[in-house]
Structures are given as C-alpha cells and as structure tokens.
Structure 1
Amino acid sequence: MPELTYPRTERGDVVDDFFGTAIADPYRWLEADARQDSKVRAWINAQNAVTNDYLENLPGRELFRRRMADLLNTERHDIPRKRAGQYFFARHDGLQNQSTLYVRDGESGQDRLLIDPNGWSEDNADALAEWSVSDDGLFLAFAVQTGGTDWRTIKVMDVETGELLEDSIEWARFSRIAWAPDGSGFFYSRYPEPEGGATSGAGVRNQAVYFHRLGNPQNEDKLIYATPDRPEMLNIADRTSAGRYLYISTTPGTNESALTVVDLEAPEWTPRTIFPKMDSEWHLLGHVGQRLYLITTDGAERRRVMTLDLSQTHPQPVEILPEAEGVLNDAALLGGKLIVAYLVDAKTEMRRFSLDGTLEGDIRLPGIGTAGGLSGHPTDDEAFFAFTSHDAPTTVYRYNIAADSVTPWAQPKLKIDPSLIEVEQHFYASKDGTRVPMFVVRRRDVTGPAPTLLYGYGGFGISMLPAYNPLQIAWVEQGGVLAIANIRGGGEYGTAWHQGGRLQNKQNAFDDFIAAGEFLKAQGITSAKGLAIQGESGGGLLVGAVTNQRPDLFDVALPGVGVLDMLRYDQFTGGALWTAEFGSPSDKAAFDNLLTYSPYHTMRDGKNYPAILVTTADADDRVVPGHSFKYISALQYADLGPKPRLIRIETRAGHGAGMPLDKIIAHHADMWAFAAYWTGLELERD
C-alpha cells in the first residue's frame, strides 16, 4: 500500500480545568457542525480524500460489495400489525434503499403499497420511521426521517384512498405514535421548537406529550403530560393494542422509569402517576378491565409480571409471574393468554401462561436463536412474532393461540447453504473470573486459526442476541470468523449484568471484551495477528477504550459513531441523557473514572497501535461526529506506529437508522476490506 500522508489538522490551545486537573483539548474547533462551518467541512473533505484513495487500493472491496448486495437481494418483511381485519407491514423487496409500507386486506388479500420513501430525496437518505394505524384501520400516521437525523415530521394518510391529510407535526423526537381509541387523533412526544429552527445542535430538554386531533393545526394540540420541574426527562407515550389506557414512561435516559397512565374512556384525560420513583423498570403489557398487567424489575433483577387494579383507591401491585432463571425479555397479552419470551444464556425460550400466571407450556420455536416482537390483539387467537439466528434469516411467524401452532407467515429466501455455517457458544473467564458467553460463527471447513471479527457493545442494558446479518455473513463466507461477546453492561443476565458494566463498573465491560480477544487467540480460533474488533455507538466507545488499553492484542480497530470524548459527551444534543450510564463529568468521582478510559484522552504514545478505520456521519445528532473528528486527529498526531489511522465520514446520514441500503453496503464493504487486509484474510471467491 502507498505511504499515507494525513491532512494537517490545526491544534488549538484550549485547556479545561476539571477539579484542579488541566485537560488539553486541542481539537475543540472540530466540534462545530460541518453543515454550517466551512472550516470543518474542508477538513472532512481532506480526510475523506485520503481515506477514499486508500480504500480504493484495497483488494476485496468490490468483492465484498457484490456479495453483500447478493445476500441482501431477497424480499424481507417486518411483523404485521392487524387493524380491523387488515394487515399493515413494512416490506423490503431486495436492494431497495428504503423499506416500503403495505396493507393487505384480509389473510389472502392482495398487498397494496401505501408508502414508498424511495425517491423522497435524490440520494434516498430520507426514510420512513415510526408509524401507527388507527384501531379502525382508516388512518395511518407516519414519521419522516430526513438525512439520518433523530428529528421527525409526522404526517397522516387516508388508508383507503392513499391521500395525505393536511395534518403535519414538527419537532417530534424520541417519540412513538399512539392513536386514541376512536381514531380522532394521536398522541406523540415533542420538544419545543429549537431556537431559529436549527435542529443540528439542539439539546434534549422539556420533552412533553401532546394529543393531535385530526384536522387541527399543530398549535392547537393539547398538552397531556410534561415534567417542567425535571426538564431533562424523556416522556414517551404509547398505548397497548386495543388498550383503554395511554401509558407514559418518564426516564432520565435509563431503563428505569416512572409510570403514568391516562384513562382514555374518562371524560377528562387526567394523568395518574402510579409509580413515581425511577428506581425500577415498569412497562405496561395490557389490561383486562381496570386490571393492568406490568413487567418490572422491582424486586426482580431478571423481571417479573405483576398486576395492579386501578379500581382501588390505593392500588398495590400483586405478583402473578415471579422472577425466573432466564431474563424476561418480551411479553404480551394475546388471545386471552400471557405469552412470555425469556433469555437463557442469550438464547430465547418462549412460554404461555394463563392470565393468573399458571404455566400452560412451552411454545416450540423453529430453532436456537432469538424470538420477539410479539404482536396481536389481546382477544384474538392470531398473533405474530419474529425469529432469527446467526444462520437463519429473520422470519415472521404466525402463532395460533387456540391451536398452539406456529407457522411461517413471511420467510425470506436464503442466499447461503446454512449447513456450511457452524454456530458455537463458548463461555470464558473475564479478568475477575466472571463467566461471559460468546457466539462464534464460521464456515464448517474453517477448523484452524483464522482472521476474526470480534463485535461488542456492553451498555445501556442492551443485549447482543443471535441474529442473521448478511453483512457479517459476507465476512464468514470468505473464511473469516465472526465472534460476538455478551459482555457486562448489556442485559443478557438482567439488571445485575447491566450494573456490572455501568458507571464506576464500566471497566468490567472493557475487561470482558479484552478477555474475549485473549480467549479467541488462546483457543486457536483466531490467528496470531488476525484479530479485528468492531463496535458502534457505545460499542465505538468500547473499541476505542480497549484499543488504548491493549494495543498489542488487537490488529484492526473499527470504532463506529463512537462516544469517544468522555469529558464532554454530555454537552452535545442527547448526550445529557447518558449521564446515568457513564456518570457526569461535572461530578468529581465520575470524572476520575471517565478519565481512566476516555478514548480521546488515554492514547498511549510510543505504542504500536493496530490499523484503525473510524466511521461516522456528518448528520449524526445522537453521537455527534465531533467525537470521531477529535479522536482521529489525536490518533494521527500521536506516535502510534506505522499502521494507518483513517476516518470514513458519510454525508447526509446519521446514527444509522434510515441510512439507504447502498450506503450501508459501501460502508461495510470498506470496513471488511480494511480488516481483511490487515488481518491477512485470504479472499477466496472473486
């Protein structure tokens, strides 16, 4: 490969004082929004030019692109939502950049296209986001995502005619859409209009729940619920299928939340907070009359199901389904039964119970993998869920509750022979002896050490579960190994597993990931110089942190849209919501901890670092690209050995959701080609 010359990046003299400790921030100017700052835009263009020239010379780039496109070129369906005998569902016909929305009239009716976002913009970067159908099936409210941003515009369609109504809602963000039972309008969450209408740097304060009545202008929408005394709170409203109650989860950005309900059959919609403390999770499954069914971590780190009778003056929750050995991961009231999906060592088991919590038996799943997304009417025998695994594409199944039978409803064609793929689950010991699970996926004929792509996240209680990913399969097809570590900080074993990698315990997540890499090499799964690591968002933080801590262990690092400046993350857009996960830099104890692992601040000058390809997007208003801009600048400035340190910056894209498929394919082909070159993966199929 040609010798790299990085663009010159100006270093400033900004120094911050944290509790008497001086912290230099020479690249502070790169925090500016590139869409408004010409200097940052020029820097992006210069970095992309160097990166593109380098990537164009990598063998395998086009091979990975072609194979990913072929693997993805099959029809895919999301779980349908049934309303008034009609089935509404998102469908992807193969290589479309964006999924489309269809309706089917009855079980055997023809599919009719409702929304096709392909063509909404020249680069197909505008996408269909959240959507919801009224109970009578007459109206569809849907959110438009523009260029990858988290902000939404909500519009309304007449389902029968396909015509748009004049209704238009702005400034929705982190919102669901919940129709009133009579279809007169819908509930949503929004923020105040940003000053000057500028959304790129707007923070997340004073979110409130509103009701929009069809036909009215937005300025007449009714305020339903707000927390002006706690402006940093998220207030997310939803309604269970055919439910009488609107429920509002109030949270500072953690999994724990307060729970408020609104009786929509009452003449006045008066919010009633039934669980005010934010020390446990509370999720409403549904109700029978005034008896609510709730999932909670209160007194149960792996969750349990309780009921609450709202007809009582002072209702108290009553347990009907105690905490089990597995983690309660999904549940729904369907066909007069309680259907529950549990995680057992990061794999799904599904069971059915009577409404009093009596076990009626297991629901047989198609294999070992991940099942969820339970959907249906609480009194209808027809329900749906999705199932997937590392070697099985996501298939939508119909569950007949009365017959206790599972049949495929929409099954994509598989572009690989699954018998050629082997999936194993290993358990290894972390630094402190904790037993950590990890999935390993490879071709059956790959029996010796091989270049390996190790993926992880480890935060916010989010579990890394078995799922079919054609982009990753393209790596496995070429003889590479895919490993996914279920490190602490996730939710694979409940609240304790999350807490074990959160706040002051964050180093445990890094130790777990480092131990995964050591295990892969010690067991002869990974070749001696063939370990690539990847993570996105919180996983980008993971990759950045462990690269600094163990540059000798990893050969390639791929941090994507990462949280990389842990001393200023809370200053940007939604970053303030993450202080409960990481700790606030304004707190001395938290600052001391954050400084031990912040990727931007803990580079080890003079060490021989792995090859690094950072990826981000200019319109990311979740984890702003300034994190990655500052991080790569510091990497390029430091003395870290001869391997490349590059950044790939996507335009008109955000944190990932809504990114057009052609950009997704190009993005991953570049990463895999980079990883293949620097791990020595011999590409076999051209």
Structure 2
Amino acid sequence: MRRTVLLVSLVLLAASCSPPGSDGFEYPSAARSEQQDDYFGVEVADPYRWMEEMDAPETADWISAQNELVEPYLASIELREQLRERLTEVWNYPRRSAPWREGPWYFEFQNDGLQNHSVLYVRDGLDGEARALLDPNSWSEDGTVSLAGNSVSPGVRYIAYAKSDGGSDWRDWHVREVATGEDLSDHLTYTKFTGVSWTPDERGFYYSRYPVDGQGAGDDKKAVSVYFHELGTEQAEDRLVLQMPPDEGRNAYAAVTEDGAYLIVVLQEGYLSNAVHYRRMDEPDTAIRPLLDEWDAIYSYVANEGDTFFFSTNRDAPRRKVISLDIDSPQEWTEVIPESENTLLNISAVGGRLIASYLQDVKPLVLVREADGSLVGQIELPGIGSVSGFGGKWDDPETFYNFSGFTDPGAVYRYDVGTGESTLHHRTVTSIDGTQFVTRQVFYDSKDGTRVPMFLVHRRDLERTGDHPTLLYGYGGFNISLRPVYSSSRLVWLELGGMLAIPNLRGGGEYGREWHLAGTRERKQNVFDDFIAAAQWLIDEGYTMPSRLVIQGSSNGGLLVGAVMTQRPDLFGAALPDVGVLDMLRYHTPSANARAWADDYGLSENEADFRAQYAYSPVHRVAEGVCYPPTLVTTADHDDRVVPWHSYKFAAALQHAQGCARPVLIRIETRAGHGAGTPTWMRIEDVANQFAFAADAVGLGGGSDGG
C-alpha cells in the first residue's frame, strides 16, 4: 500500500535565480516542497511533485527560465554552429523507402533531403510516374504536424491516414480518394496506437478508440474498444464492435484478414502475453469468440489459407517459432517453423511462401520457406547491418526489402518470390564516404559473467591510445533490439574523430524472451550493470577514458543514462538523458499506456516492485554533494508518452545536488513530442545541441580537455 502525506508547504517559484552553487551556475529556483509518500513503511520525499501540474504557471515559469539559461550556454559553444551546418549538409540527400504493392499500384515514401517529412507517393506500375498523394509538409508552416499512419483500402479507392500535431501520440484520422487526391468529410479522433482495417467492400473500416471524458476529450487512462466506421457518417454514429471494461487494462485491436473472410481481434495487456479472438465476416451478428485465450504467450497473426491460420509465438519457444492451426480446432497445432538458436524477428507471408527474418548474434539472417515449413533458401545480405521490409500479400509475386548499416545508407531490393532472385531497385547515395569507417562486433562479460555483444564504429586508422571521445548509446528494454542502422548524425560525430559504441543490453530482444526478462522488474539492475561493464571494457581495452566517455539514451534509454550516472558518476565525462523515464515510483500515473509498462518496470503499488524500483530510480538516487558529470537533459512539452515532468524533476534534483563545477542543464523543446514525427529542422537542432554539449565536455573537435 501507499499513502500520501499532506503537502505541508510549497514555496512559489522565485522570479530570481538560486544563489550560485558549487558548480558556479545560477540555476532557476525550483521550490522544494515537503511532499512525502509512504511506501510499505519507507518515507519517500517528492519535493518536485508540483511539476506534475505541467500547465501550472509555476511550471511554465520554471520551463522558460531553464530554456533562457540553456540557450545562451549552448550558443556559446563554438562547435555548435559548425555542427549544425555539417548536419544540414549530411542530412541533405534524397532517400526512398521500400515500395509496397496494392493491386496494380505501388506506394513509397520519398524525401528530397531536407524536407521536414517524407512524402507518400503512388504510381501505376513499378515504373510508372510517381504522384504525391500525402504531403505532410503542407500541413503546417513549422513542420510540426506529421503523418502518423496510413491504410489503403483493398480496391485502392481510398487511403485512411492519421495526423499527429506537435509530436503527440493522439491521432486524427481522415480519408482521401487515391485517384483524385481529394479528402472525404470523414474525421475520427480519440485514438492512439491504433491502425485501421478496411472491409473488402471498402464501405468502412475497424479501429480502436478511447472513451470520451466529461470534458469531451479522449480518456487515455481507460481501455480502448473496437468500433466500425462507415464512410460518409459522423464518428458519433460509429458502431461499437467490442466493448472492453474501461478499468481492467486490456485493449482490443481489430484487423480483417487479407481474404476478407475473418475479423481478427487481438487483446493486449502489457507486453508479455495476449489473446486472439475472431469472427467470420459473413456472420456479422455473431459474437466474437476466443481462438487463443490462455494468456500464456505472445501470438502474432501472420496469414491464413482459408481456415488454416499461421501465427508466430514464443510459447515454449523463447526465440519464437511459427505454428499453424485450424480455426475450428485451435487446440491442435502444427509446428511449421521450429524455434532455432537464432531469434525470429519477423515473419511475412508473400507469394505463398514464408519469409523469416532472424537475428544471429544481432546480425541479420533471412530464410525463405514453403507454407509447410520446408526450406527454400537464404537471401544473401552484404554484411553487418539491418534488413527490413518483405511486406506483401499471399498472392503477390514480389516483395521489397531494405538493407543498411551504421555507415552504409543502404539500398532497396526487389525480391522475386518465385525465382528467389534479388535485384537492386534503388541505392541511396550520400555525401559522406562511409568506407573511411569500420564496424566491428565485440563481446564482453557483464558483472554476473553474462556475455554481452557490442558494436563499435570508428575510423579505420584508429589506434588504442586510451583517449578517444566515445559516444556510448544504449536502450535495454521492452524486447527492443538495437540493430545496425544508418545515421547521418552519428557519422558527423565519427568525422570529428569520435567513436561510437552500442551494446545490446539485457532487457532487449536480441536473444529472445529470456534475454528480455533478464532485464525487467527485480532484474532491471542487470541492464545497468551491462552498460557499466561496456563502459569499463572500453576503458580497459584502451579505447577511451572516463573523462572522454559520453553516455546517451532516449525514453527507456533515458532511464538507463539516469540510472548509471547516479550509480557511477565517476565513470562518465558527459550524460545525455533524452525524454527519459526517471521517476520510477510514479511513471504509471499519467495514462493507461504508461501503466502497461509494468511488465518491464513493475508497479510501486507492489512491495517487491517498489523496493527494486527505489533502488535505482534516478530521481530518487540523486545525492547532495556528489560530483555528477556534465549533463544535458532533453525533453519536449508535448510528449504525452513519457511525460516531461520526469525530466523536470531529474534536472531540478541534479541542479540542487550538484557538488562540483560541472553544468547540469535541461532543454525543453516546444511543439514536439516523444520523437516520432519531429520535423527535420528540429531534429538537426536537437542533435547539434546534444553533440555540441558533449563534445565541449569531453574535448572533441576543439572542446575542453575532457577533464
């Protein structure tokens, strides 16, 4: 249990700054209240609880004062403008996505280089003339309204598309005619994290939405339910298909099978298990019935041939396998693709075959199999990198995929399912010569002896002099795998003489379910131990030293940075926690989506979870008088996924506690969210700020000496 102790006092924010601390900075005053909470007999102070009122005048004043402090500081770093110019140059290259086919039409995203958002094009035939269908760059002057989802109707008459304003997770859905580019009157709101799925007759689509609260807004502290929207009608008239109890935490999402014969409904609660229900489309008045309802694993629908359904699952297979079952006897399974020593990352069904993408020690492996599981062959890939794509339908003769690496912007290939031949469709060309850098994979031992892989990227002529400025980036959570992907901004860091290191920490999905679970709840400390061990390995192997080591991470990776810098402040030369989850005792309070993270983090409502969280929660581990590394906290005022008060509290606590002359600053972006949909100009500015701060701290490109 937890009880809240009465707030004794809250001193209003002073208009002036606090007296200079031991670091020499005059930080904006942040009132420290006497708020305390009792967690299972442990009194926990929360002096910055008032910052959770994000629209309060006191919070707004504090945000403005912090930005007024950080902007001149960043502007004073001579390297920042050079970085901004170089980032703009290297970002300015044409790029195209892998196309996907809908009937005779092909769709793909293109960006001419510095467009704030990629444009969705459509063409009649693969070699037809491309026509812009959705251009998010025309939706706002500053580029802060973005395209956040799309779904083409089966007959390619319509495309439903979602807009996000200011980086918010909230989506507004619209419908456009593909042939004319004209919008219909349809407008849907109250949605997050949902796609839409069309009926075969294109009469409308299924989607999931939140209930409406008393103020007429979507209530994202409740569960979503499934609705059907008929084109040409108001959202208020949408038919409720499946009502979910609002307070039980289970969300429902529906999709029509490719053959139009079934409605599949996936029930989700957290990230470790789900259920699958269904209804025949020709029986619209029958109840939606269970198909896989044991809540014992994750089941992901792949495809169906008539009444035979294919699913990938981690039931009794931590690295996933593919099964088939008859919908009339779902308890009788056939193992189509057994679990292997490699982690099954994705499975698609194209041209009557199954294309399985694996991680083999975090490197890509793609195998093609018949529907009965027999091996057809392997798709040969160029080396260390990442592969994505392989979308398509059961009767499509072709699919497309993209391959890229840390220093290779990549290429798009067309794969002929019948012949097994891959042909180059489009190669991306940039102004940076990636061949001057090398990518290597190493393995090191964590604190408990676990073998952890890590990618290193640096100049070919790098020597182990022990003083290279190194950017150590990590995530370690939610079954997410960090794969080798191209990044123009990281190449700029390498150009300046820096080095990049990316360890594949426990909590991720690189080695399946067990690897993920080993970095969750009471075992979350394993993630931090893995990251600290990576830093120590880089030092011991003669690549860098603590004063030249920068740590960076976003979201769950922001938690990672906050945790390790409070546990080992002596080990790092600069810290960049971005949009981080930093108050582990209250992270679950803003929304139902945040509460669903309990599978990874636990809930402070449970004693065992609380004690694990309290041991590493960054906000609660800040200690007065400790010398913390130079730190730039970054967040956005429209982030409604990881709400920005996490970063506000952490920055305020660090500024109050800092015991040496090293800066602790926070930059709060306005008109931005958790990262998705951020316009190009804002992304360039953000990277320039972070890299300039880090480079100045560790002596890269003419910065300080890193001491």
Instruction: Describe how 1:241-390 pairs up with structure 2 within 5 A.
Output: 241-242=258-259, 244-268=261-285, 270-312=287-329, 315-390=331-406
Secondary structure in 1 aligned to 2:613? helix
Alignment correspondent of 1:532: 550
Alignment correspondent of 1:392: 408
Counterpart check, 1:414 vs 2:391: no
Distance 1:167 1:351 in 2: 42
Shift of 1:108: 1.1
Query: Residues 481 and 526 of structure 1 are in contact (CA less than 8 Å); yes or no, is this contact kept in structure 2?
Result: no
Distance 2:570 2:245 in 1: 50
Alignment correspondent of 1:27: 48
Between 318-327 and 179-188, report the one with greater CA deviation: 179-188
Query: Residues 428 and 519 of structure 1 are in contact (CA less than 8 Å); yes or no, is this contact kept in structure 2?
Result: yes
Q: Indicate the percent of aligned positions where both proteins have the same amino acid.
A: 44
Change (3 A) 1:410 1:37: farther
Which runs of 5 or more residues in structure 2 are unaligned?
1-22
Between 76-85 and 497-506, report the one with greater CA deviation: 76-85
Deviations 1:101-140 (A, max 9, x none): 1111111111101111113223211101110101111100
Q: Which residue among 235, 250, 260 is the counterpart of 1:218?
A: 235
Secondary structure in 2 aligned to 1:320? strand
Distance 1:133 1:650 in 2: 34
**Equivalent AA in structure 2 for residue 282 of structure 1:** Y
Q: Which residue among 70, 82, 96 is the counterpart of 1:77?
A: 96
Change (3 A) 1:591 1:548: same
Distance 1:239 1:666 in 2: 42
Between 412-421 and 287-296, report the one with greater CA deviation: 412-421
Shift of 1:94: 0.8
Distance 1:539 1:152 in 2: 25
Distance 2:370 2:202 in 1: 31
Shift of 1:401: 0.9
Query: Residues 190 and 217 of structure 2 are in contact (CA less than 8 Å); yes or no, is this contact kept in structure 1?
Result: no
Q: Which residue among 12, 15, 25 is the counterpart of 1:4?
A: 25
Distance 1:517 1:240 in 2: 47
Distance 1:412 1:194 in 2: 47
Shift of 1:398: 1.2
Change (3 A) 1:226 1:472: farther
Counterpart check, 1:102 vs 2:121: yes
Q: Which residue among 638, 642, 647 is the counterpart of 1:623?
A: 642
Change (3 A) 1:175 1:394: farther
Between 394-403 and 633-642, report the one with greater CA deviation: 394-403
Secondary structure in 1 aligned to 2:618? coil
Change (3 A) 1:669 1:57: same
Secondary structure in 2 aligned to 1:195? coil
Secondary structure in 2 aligned to 1:74? coil
Query: Please, what is the CA RMSD of the aligned residues?
Result: 1.6
Distance 1:413 1:244 in 2: 44
Distance 2:286 2:509 in 1: 35
Distance 1:473 1:683 in 2: 17
Shift of 1:248: 2.5
Counterpart check, 1:496 vs 2:517: no
Change (3 A) 1:230 1:305: farther
**Equivalent AA in structure 1 for residue 36 of structure 2:** V
Distance 1:479 1:242 in 2: 54
Counterpart check, 1:578 vs 2:594: no
Alignment correspondent of 1:232: 249
Distance 1:92 1:269 in 2: 46
Distance 2:247 2:211 in 1: 15
Shift of 1:405: 1.1
Counterpart check, 1:465 vs 2:483: yes
Q: Which residue among 453, 456, 459 is the counterpart of 1:437?
A: 453
**Equivalent AA in structure 1 for residue 244 of structure 2:** T
Distance 1:253 1:151 in 2: 19
Distance 2:641 2:254 in 1: 21
Shift of 1:246: 3.2
Secondary structure in 2 aligned to 1:176? coil
Counterpart check, 1:123 vs 2:142: yes
Alignment correspondent of 1:181: 200
Instruction: Describe how 1:582-601 pairs up with structure 2 within 5 A.
Output: 582-601=601-620
Shift of 1:205: 1.3
Deviations 1:14-69 (A, max 9, x none): 11111111111111111112xx3222111111000100011001121112111211
Query: Residues 364 and 386 of structure 2 are in contact (CA less than 8 Å); yes or no, is this contact kept in structure 1?
Result: yes
Query: Residues 604 and 640 of structure 1 are in contact (CA less than 8 Å); yes or no, is this contact kept in structure 2?
Result: no
**Equivalent AA in structure 2 for residue 565 of structure 1:** D
Between 225-234 and 524-533, report the one with greater CA deviation: 225-234
Alignment correspondent of 2:9: none
Shift of 1:315: 4.2
Secondary structure in 2 aligned to 1:392? coil
Query: Residues 58 and 677 of structure 1 are in contact (CA less than 8 Å); yes or no, is this contact kept in structure 2?
Result: yes
Deviations 1:170-198 (A, max 9, x none): 11111012111221111111101243145
Distance 2:589 2:513 in 1: 28
Shift of 1:656: 0.5
Query: Residues 444 and 452 of structure 2 are in contact (CA less than 8 Å); yes or no, is this contact kept in structure 1?
Result: yes
Alignment correspondent of 2:655: 636
Alignment correspondent of 1:45: 64
Off by >6 Å, runs of 4+ in structure 1: none
Q: Which residue among 653, 667, 672 is the counterpart of 1:648?
A: 667
**Equivalent AA in structure 1 for residue 483 of structure 2:** L
Between 560-569 and 256-265, report the one with greater CA deviation: 256-265
Alignment correspondent of 1:545: 563
Query: Residues 259 and 274 of structure 1 are in contact (CA less than 8 Å); yes or no, is this contact kept in structure 2?
Result: yes
Query: Residues 252 and 580 of structure 1 are in contact (CA less than 8 Å); yes or no, is this contact kept in structure 2?
Result: no
Q: Which residue among 157, 166, 189 is the counterpart of 1:147?
A: 166
Change (3 A) 1:269 1:419: farther
Change (3 A) 1:647 1:480: same
Distance 1:519 1:241 in 2: 49
Distance 1:241 1:420 in 2: 46
Query: Residues 199 and 260 of structure 2 are in contact (CA less than 8 Å); yes or no, is this contact kept in structure 1?
Result: no
**Equivalent AA in structure 2 for residue 252 of structure 1:** E
Number of residue equivalences: 678
